Homo-oligomer: A and B are copies of this chain.
Amino acid sequence: MIDIKKLLKVEGEIVNRWLDRLLPSESQPPVSLHTAMRYSVFAGGKRLRPILCKMAFERFGGEGERIYPPACALEMIHTYSLIHDDLPCMDDDDLRRGKPTSHVKFGEAMAILAGDALHAIAFENLAKSGDIRVVADVARAIGTEGLVGGQVFDLEAEGGVPTAETLERIHRGKTGALIATSLRAGALIAGASDEDVEKVSIYGEKLGLAFQIIDDILDIIADESALGKPIGSDAERDKATYPCLYGIDESRRLAEKLVREAKEALGAEVANEKLFAIADFIHERMF
Contacts and interface: CB of A to CB of B under 8 A. Distances in A.
Q: Which of A116, A122, A155 has the most CB of B within 10 A?
A: A116
A108 B112 CA distance: 12
Contacts of A120: 119, 139-140, 142-144, 147-148
Interface in A126-155: 126-128, 130-133, 135-136, 138-140, 142-144, 147-149, 151-153, 155
Contacts of A24: 144
A109 B133 CA distance: 30
Contact of A90 (B109, B132, B133): B109
Interface stretch (A29-37, A45-53, A218-226, A238-246): A29-37
A interface bracket (residues with beta carbon within 8 Å of B): 35 or more
Given A132-B131, A132-B132, A30 B144 contact: yes
Contacts of A135: 123, 126-127, 132, 135
Interface of A: 24, 29-30, 32-34, 37, 84, 87, 89-90, 107-110, 112-113, 115-117, 119-124, 126-128, 130-133, 135-136, 138-140, 142-144, 147-149, 151-153, 155-156
Given A123-B123, A127-B133, 16 more contacts: A29-B149, A30-B156, A32-B152, A33-B144, A84-B113, A87-B112, A112-B112, A116-B116, A116-B148, A117-B144, A120-B142, A120-B147, A123-B135, A123-B139, A124-B139, A131-B132
